Homo-oligomer: A and B are copies of this chain.
Amino acid sequence: MKNFVLHNPTKIIFGKNTINKIGPETYSFGCKVFLIFGEYSVKQNGILDQVSCSLKDAGCIIIEFGGVKSNPLLSHVRTGIEQFKKNNCDVICAVGGGSVIDSAKAISAGVKVEHDVWKFFTTKKSISSTAPLTCVSTLAASGSDNNSGMVLTRDQNQLKFGYGNRFLYPKVSILDPEATYSVPKDYTAYGAVDIVSHLLEFYLTTMVPSSPVQDRIIEGLMMSVMESCNNALINGRDYAARAELMWAASLALSGLTAAGLGRVGFPMHLIEHSLSAIYNVPHGAGLAVIIPGWMTFHAEKHPEKIAQLGENIFKIKGNCKKDIATETIAKFTNWFKDIDCPVTLGELSINPDHHVDIAVNTQPLAKVWRLKEYDVDTVCTILKLCR
């Protein structure tokens, strides 16, 4: 195990009928609330109304800021920072999935500085304080409700960057599995793939000797995500399935799973971010395409850990690690197909002519994330495996 610091101060309030706690929890950080949300779903399913009522009942004054898109945009965040400042807000309350919470995090950091918020993402500036943030999560996917990361797309030049800082943990996150009942099948599946991808990045990209504690936590989460996603697709109102999925999403990127692993890379996210940035592909759909290709590439030199994963979660048996790794990759690919996710670039209407453009787009982030082994040629090699 490598040395680590784990300090996740987020208060998680999990379960049925918990959304009405958002008012008093938010009010404890101040009266004037910058309420941020997306475009449609939280209005349609009534969750935004529930949150607004709870905030008002607690004595909050609400400044609404809606319209966050999936693959959220820097330009929108910049507007949010202006609005927050203009209205002298005390606290941010985010209602939505990862896009909304990530936008809220960027605003929470941006309102504390004079420089442009994008400088955090390029690591030209670091965060030293943030406005307090509370969340009501409505999607089991990014785990942004319980972590210190955020992802934004700079619309101007199609760059999708991720950045992490300890000041970005939400103060309070409310996770009511019933809030995800109305998530449609496609986004339920994309969310599950996103969770699995986070776990795969940690499990497979560390070169240190394995930590059995960490490996088993990750394997257990991965099995639970696959099972509960399948159940939630059969019945979207299966509380147990929605709860498992939501809790697994929250744990998968919370700091727990990365503890003791040393430096981890996020190469699948690196490549997927370019798909989302250029083609506005849903993040989970892009990941379902990239994961099999990247794993195939990775298995060439490092089949052992992929094989270990397959042995432990799919109970694959055999003597040849390469063969077990190949079968493991096939199992994941087949599961993605089963839950109706795309598994080839072709299904996203991205043909081989685009590979170089995508690979070139990855390079600025590869530099910031110090993934220098992922140069244009290497990314093209991987994209070719994604067909």
- Which residues of A come within 8 Å of B, CB atoms? 1-16, 18, 177, 209, 211-213, 215-217, 219-221, 223-224, 227-228, 240, 243-244, 247-248, 251, 256, 259-260
Contacts and interface: CB of A to CB of B under 8 A. Distances in A.
Contacts of A2: 15
Most chain B CB neighbours (cut-off 10 Å) among A1, A11, A15, A228: A1
A229 to B, nearest CB: 12
A374 to B, nearest CB: 28
Per assembly, the copies of the chain total 2
A240 B211 CA distance: 8
A11 B6 CA distance: 6
Given A7-B12, A14-B259, A220-B220, 20 more contacts: A1-B15, A1-B177, A1-B244, A3-B14, A4-B12, A4-B14, A6-B14, A7-B9, A7-B11, A211-B247, A212-B220, A212-B227, A213-B221, A213-B247, A215-B220, A216-B219, A216-B220, A216-B223, A217-B220, A247-B259
A2 B177 CA distance: 11
Nearest to A172: B7
B212 A223 contact: yes
A220 B5 CA distance: 22
A8 B8 CA distance: 7
Contacts of A224: 212-213, 216
